[in-house]
Structure 1
Amino acid sequence: MSNIFSDNNQIELVSTFSELVNTDFKGEMNALCWYRNLDGDFNEIVARLHINENITEVSPEDLIALQLSEKGNIARESILNDLQLLTDFGASPSLNLLKCYDRDDEFDFISTDVYSFHVDRSPIATDTFLCTYHGAASDIISNSQAKQKILIPEIRTKLKELHDGPSEEFDNFLKENYFDLHYQADEDAEPINLGLGHLWRLAVDHPKQKVLPCIHRAPLENEGEYRLLLIC
């Protein structure tokens, strides 16, 4: 197995789907990677699909209906297999053809879109699974290399000015508007790109979580190139 991620305490590499879903997060480790070198032509699949909006969900039936070459079919089988594995596990995977995500430009001092480093939160015990098959891939960052934006004094001051209510409700205001989920990377931080074809499981902030949630962000898309992303 490649050691591209193996010298990082945040990441543990696994070699099967069973290991991916059954390995417990612990200590600094809040990202699991089923490291794979997938065969097939994923670019062909992207070229044959039709994008209707900035984000188009692709169903298994959409994939099956495509007329593909042998290499395109190999890529399709990999995607269908991942969708089936996650569905059988009890997850609800979504395959998205992405032009771009919506940007948050409401405030000039804090961003709450997915291009900003952030963590996911859930009221129930769950994890985030994702795999980029084509296009730019997401980044994660060590929790020790980023700071919650609401704790940065100048940002916190502006958020207090924005808050129209009693001071004891300020923390609820931050949560309700998702400000507390976003992080600012340190100047010397070294984000880790998740690469293509690997299936990742990232820790989510929920009541039973024993580790810090994994800080991640969506990438800026490459000019003229769509992303094909599995996520749940």
Structure 2
Amino acid sequence: MNDIFSNNPQIGVVSTFSDLINTHFQGNVNALCWYRNLDGDFKEIVSKLKLKDNITEISAEDLLALDLSEQGNTAREIILNDLQLLTDFGALPSLNLLKNYERDEEFDFISTDVYSYHVDRSPIGTDTFLCTYYGASSDILPNEQALQKIQVPEIREKLKELHDGPEEEFEDFLKDCFFDLHYQAKPNADATNLGLGHLWRLAVDHPEQKVLPCVHRAPVENEGEYRLLLIC
């Protein structure tokens, strides 16, 4: 077992999919990891898939159409099984071949793309599931080591200028434009990289949530390398 995960008070480590979906978030734990050392050649799958856009959704049919080696087939069966497990659970998993996400370049004083630390929000009770099979993997940050960007004085002042409306509507403006979802790491913050092959469940901000939502970010991709990511 990886001590980085098992000794981290933010992370709960489980050994089955059943435990992943049935374990409750509580206390400081807002990230659950089904820890796995996967067999199979995921690089082969990535090399044989076709990127149509910067983010290309890959279907089960796309995977089944690939002519793969024994190790490539092992990797394919793992991915198909993960997709089926999540679908049977009631989730809507998406397998993405990813070159890069779109960058937020609208404002020079605040970034609100997925490369920025952020939390997910939903009007209903749900969680974020993700697994990186190949390429760079995401980071999470303990909530106490993250500062909401809208609380940074110079950013807040510029957002007030951008709002240019009644002061009593400012907080609603921040929420409506999703500025309140984004964070920056505090000095000496210690992020945890989610690694390859582990299936994660991250807490989302929703009305029934009992813990703080998990602060996370997408990684900067390795040059010349695609990512293969399951997410829902």
* Interval containing the TM-score (normalised by the shorter chain): over 0.9
Query: Aligned residue for 1:36?
Result: 36
Deviation larger for 170-179 or 210-219: 170-179
Distance in 2 (alpha carbons) for counterparts of 1:95 and 1:155 = 35
C-alpha displacement at 1:2, in angstroms? 3.2
**Where do 1:111-150 residues align within 5 Å?**
111-150=111-150
Query: Aligned residue for 1:94?
Result: 94
Matched to 2:140, the amino acid is I
Matched to 2:115, the amino acid is Y
Distance in 2 (alpha carbons) for counterparts of 1:90 and 1:96 = 19
Distance in 2 (alpha carbons) for counterparts of 1:134 and 1:53 = 18
Query: Aligned residue for 2:203?
Result: 203
3-state secondary structure, aligned to 1:125:
coil
Give me the TM-score of the superposition, normalised by structure 2: 0.99
Distance in 1 (alpha carbons) for counterparts of 2:71 and 2:3 = 27
Query: Aligned residue for 1:159?
Result: 159
Q: Any idea what the Cα deviations from partners look like across 1:30-88, whole Å, max 9, x if unmatched?
A: 00000000000000000000000000000000001100000000000000000000000
- Tell me the C-alpha RMSD between the 2 structures: 0.6
Give me the TM-score of the superposition, normalised by structure 1: 0.99
Distance in 1 (alpha carbons) for counterparts of 2:209 and 2:101 = 28
Query: Aligned residue for 1:173?
Result: 173
Q: Does 1:225 align with 2:225?
A: yes
3-state secondary structure, aligned to 1:132:
strand
Number of residue pairs the alignment of both structures matches: 232
Query: Aligned residue for 1:72?
Result: 72
C-alpha displacement at 1:3, in angstroms? 2.6
C-alpha displacement at 1:177, in angstroms? 1.1
Matched to 2:28, the amino acid is E
Matched to 2:229, the amino acid is L
Q: Structure 1: which 4+ aligned runs deviate by more than 2 Å?
A: 1-4
C-alpha displacement at 1:175, in angstroms? 1.0
3-state secondary structure, aligned to 2:202:
strand
| Structure 1 unpaired stretches of 5+ | none
Distance in 1 (alpha carbons) for counterparts of 2:59 and 2:135 = 19
Q: Any idea what the Cα deviations from partners look like across 1:158-187, whole Å, max 9, x if unmatched?
A: 100110211111111111111000001011
